Structure 1
Amino acid sequence: MTAAQLPPVAPEVTATLVEGLSPRLRKRLDASVTKLGSRPTHREGDTVTIAVDDETELRLHAPGGVVATADAITCGCLLAPACVHRAAAACAAPAAALTQELADRPTRAVPGHASATDPSPAPESASTPEVASPAQRAASDALWSAGAAVLEAGVDGAGAVTQSALLRAAHTARLRHLPRAAGAALSVVTLLRAARAGDPSYRTADLVTALAELLGTAHRVGTASGADLAAVIGRARRPYSPDGSLRLYGLFTEPVVTDSGHGGVRTWVAASDGRLCTVGDVAPGGVGRALGVADRAVRLGDSALTHRELGRAGLAVSGATVSPDGRLGAGKGVKAVTARGAAWTEVPLAALWETPPSEQAARALRSTSRYGDPERGGSDLLFLDVELLGAVRESGGICLLALCEGGVSVRLTAADEDPALAHRDNLMLLATAPGTRLRVIGRLVPAPHPRLILLACSHPTGEGTVDLGLDRLRRADLPDPAAPAHPAPPRPGGPGAHSPLHLLERRVEQTVPAGRAALGMLGDVSAETRRIRRAGLPTAAGLLTALCASAAQRDRDPFGRLRPADTDDFAIHWLSAARYTAAVAESLCAAAWEPTQEGSAAEPAVADR
């Protein structure tokens, strides 16, 4: 049995079942979750049955696809309903989103809480108060405490009981109208479960970002006011605003596959003024559905275009509704008919490639900052004219090196490694054609060197475009393989290539898997802090010293016994270090995209903001 085979369980249901266990059963809960994961399951309609043993069955009833009440989980053992099996099943199942709307995020991302095909614009909520209410501050305090407990224990110690406390705090935050903080808590729980289950797609950096978002948002609820408070609170549903009539031109279509088992596509289009919009179709089904949906009709007005066709054609839309991040609504009042598209070299699409790469990178960083306002909108896409240089081997695999305007070397990577998608095969084939000039579209990867996830490109023959996740190139499409090759540099360049910021980043990430104890046993870190200071990062050196000192700080009572650790103090120091490293990393990323003749002078300007 895997988590994907079980229906999502509402956070409050999991928390209620875990809280109802006796202390003895709570100690056995993690082992029971692991044991239950090896048992066979059977689905019939809205009910999933798990064979606990040869004589006992556990049932999860999920009308509408979600287990919404504790009574919907029943067990046939003698100790039911006070048995550990019900709570173990809830902890093994995915946590249901706090709203019923479907996510539509980039490939392999943690699902969000809204759909690009919302049937109607979300109603505007009441005006946000100047300061948070006492109930909201209490809910944010509970989220802070639960997040600090995760940081204290680390992945290894954050079992089902710790996760249930976080789910309870998330449910309370949702009831107190704090959707952004509640969503961050659910993301932490999802990533914790992936880490403990050994999910190959799990990355420690993702959990660091989610945990810092949770702690930072919870901390700001009590101090923010006015517009800042509105950003911290967030929105339970994505708002769609009327946008009148739009003339849209297709750019490309990308497959979307999420870790929760959802699959589909997202088609990018541009308005006449250069604004980017998306039309998506994502639902349960994984990579198989992503490949199939590409050839289905777009759910927008009366258009009969498929997603693949829209990526190369156009639409005339009346009564359009658009969310802040550019997603087109598909309400009843929206009318759309097929229109002529435009080549990437024609107006208005050609203008997207005229902006210098450094300006595009800075814009993408502003709109997709790790801890920025999720409602700010914007796109992380870059539009570049490049010359392919060849393949470069990295610790994580092979990427494609290219040269763009200003002499900047860019590393192009595949959006998804799944062999059912064409990303990896197309990238490897393009790597065999150095000297080829292409017009490409990619997603910015924040890194101390220029890096891009390759999504679409002009066809090597100059005829049309290629959706690199869906269309497969052939060797016959490439120019003469005897074309002159350019030597690929062995290491990425850029202002941040040799920055010692990784010394602080490593300690921030080291805390997440093993908890506070991992830093408390480090001892003297003066050698690392001296190296950081010599690089012109005194703030980073101070943060590292304070973080390690806070981790090792344990007071004793008059009898020599250790007092309980101050989790709040350590969480504050860890959060400060995490937010600082993210801000400096984004600055270094922006500087790395500057033309090479300016690159050497860029580092001092961004070294220690």
Structure 2
Amino acid sequence: MADRAVRLGDSALTHRELGRAGLAVSGATVSPDGRLGAGKSVKAVTARGAAWTEPPLAALWETPPAEQAARALRSTSRYADPDGTGSDLLFLDVELLGAVREPGGTCLLALGEGGVPVRLTAADDDPALAHRDNLALLAAAPGTRLRIIGRLIPAAHPRLTLLACSHPTGAGTIDLGLDRLRRADLPDPAAPAHFAPPQPAGPGAQSPLYLLERRVEQTVPAGRAALGMLGDVTAETRRIRRGGLPTAAALLTALCASAAQRERDPFGRLLPADTDGFAAYWLAAARYSAAVSESLCSVAWNPTGEVQGVSGAAARPAI
């Protein structure tokens, strides 16, 4: 796949070459999701590719990470404007700290601008690709400074899937999926994987918002009836209120009550369920939980604790 040709105009470059070479293009078309068209009117010839430290690419790393994260959140939000533009890619300068064990496996921890710890995960676990092996090797090079490109993973802590980085020796760049690092590329080829010291939890790490989110998500495959059989959710709403989210607690109470509500006629027969009312409560809970999640993610990327300009209610403090 990496050596398959991509034809654009009069040029034919492989995926591997396209990641490093330049193209001079005229008459190009772009789809709404950002894909470059290759119609008959497109003309393209190969050119020298620009280094990440040269203009115009160097400007991508000059935007503060918090602003990049806010832009990526606007792009990835499930309620984003379908006609809006933006990218979920982040361009960061980081210092590697080592590996971190998580319930789902091991990821790479790096220190970004402003001392923000960023977790870097493999973009794909396919063994035919080099993502996982490259991350394991980079974990053996703590202290190495890299220029990286990653895709935002919305979470209560800074988190990216690592797509590409500068070479540890400073010579060129590495596509983490197509290029394989070797131990000889590391500052100390004999060094084992290094585990980073424990990091303090971020402001949203202990948020009880997940108690509302899981009920919203549970409704999608299981339906209204499954939510109606939960019974008393007082314990969950109490935890949510203690976490400072009274609106989330009220929404969970209303959602479950609406799911369980079934009225009867004078003869004791069940009346049709109020599906419109339940749908309204579900949509309110879904929009609220998404907005608060975006707000927590934005705060995690900002060392000053200020919420950047993300979409909708996420731009306001979570309550």
Please give the TM-score of this superposition, normalised by the length of structure 1. Answer: 0.49
Counting matched residue pairs gives: 313
383 and 417 in structure 1: CA distance in 2 versus 1, 3 angstrom threshold: same
Name the structure 1 match of 2:212.
Answer: 504
The one-letter amino acid of 1:449's match is: H
C-alpha root-mean-square deviation of aligned residues, in Å? Answer: 2.3
Match for residue 283 of structure 2? Answer: 575
Structure 1 residues 196-253: Cα deviation after superposition (integer angstroms, max 9, x where no partner) = xxxxxxxxxxxxxxxxxxxxxxxxxxxxxxxxxxxxxxxxxxxxxxxxxxxxxxxxxx
Distance 2:169 2:197 in 1: 24
Provide the rounded CA distance (Å) in 2 between the counterparts of 1:359 and 1:433. 28
Alignment counterpart, residue 301 of structure 2, candidates 577, 590, 593: 593
Cα distance in structure 2, aligned partners of 1:306 and 1:510: 43
| Counterpart check, 1:374 vs 2:82 | yes
1: CA distance, partners of 2:194 / 2:135: 16
Residue 424 of structure 1 aligns to a residue in which SS? helix
The answer to whether residue 198 in structure 2 is matched with residue 489 in structure 1 is yes
| Residue 163 (structure 2) aligns with | 455
Runs of at least 5 residues in structure 1 that lack an aligned partner in the other structure: 1-291
Q: Distance in 2 between matches of 1:339 and 1:409?
A: 37
Which amino acid is 2:318 matched to? D
Change (3 A) 1:576 1:295: same
Which of 237, 250, 259 does residue 542 from structure 1 map onto? 250
Aligned counterpart for 1:525 among listed residues 220, 233, 253: 233
**Given that residues 423 and 469 in structure 1 are in contact (C-alpha distance below 8 angstroms), is that contact kept between their aligned partners in structure 2?**
yes
Instruction: Indicate the SS of the match to 1:511.
Output: helix
- Matches for 1:9-48 after TM superposition, within 5 Å: none
Aligned AA for 1:433?
Answer: A
Query: Which runs of no fewer than 5 residues in structure 2 stay unpaired?
Result: 309-313
Distance in 2 (alpha carbons) for counterparts of 1:534 and 1:605? 22
Which of the pair is proportionally richer in helix?
A: 1
Q: How many Å separate the matches in 1 of 2:99 and 2:195?
A: 10
The structural deviation recorded for 1:484 is 11
Equivalent residue for 1:608?
Answer: 318
Q: Which amino acid aligns with 2:167?
A: H
Matched-pair contact (CA < 8 Å) for 2:92–2:148:
yes
Q: Displacement, 1:522?
A: 2.2
Note if contact 2:139-2:193 (Cα within 8 Å) is conserved in structure 1: no
Classify the secondary structure of the residue corresponding to 2:5.
coil
Whether the aligned pair in 1 keeps the contact of 2:140 and 2:191 (CA below 8 Å) is no
Query: Which has more radius of gyration?
Result: 1
Report the TM-score, using the length of structure 2 for normalisation.
0.91
Are residues 360 and 521 of structure 1, via their aligned partners in 2, closer, same or farther at CA, if it must alter by over 3 Å? same
Q: C-alpha offsets along residues 344-400 of structure 1, whole Å, 9 cap, x if unaligned?
A: 111111111111110100011112211212221211000011111111111111111
Aligned to 2:7, what secondary structure does the other structure show? coil
SS in 2 for 1:309: helix
Check 1:346–1:605 CA distance in 2 against 1; reply closer, same or farther (3 A cut).
closer
Equivalent residue in structure 1 for 2:265, among 557, 560, 574: 557
Cα offset, 1:483, TM superposition: 9.9
Alignment of 1:116-265 (within 5 A): none
AA matched with 1:608: A
- CA spacing shift, 1:569–1:484, aligned 2, 3 Å: closer
1:391 and 1:515 map into 2 onto residues whose CA distance is 40
1:419 corresponding residue in structure 2: 127
Give the equivalent residue in structure 2 for 1:9: none
- Mapped partners of 1:351, 1:607: distance in 2: 31
The amino acid of 1:546's aligned partner reads: A
Structure 1 vs Structure 2: percent identity of aligned residues?
82
Of 117, 142, 145, the match for 1:437: 145
SS at match of 1:488: coil
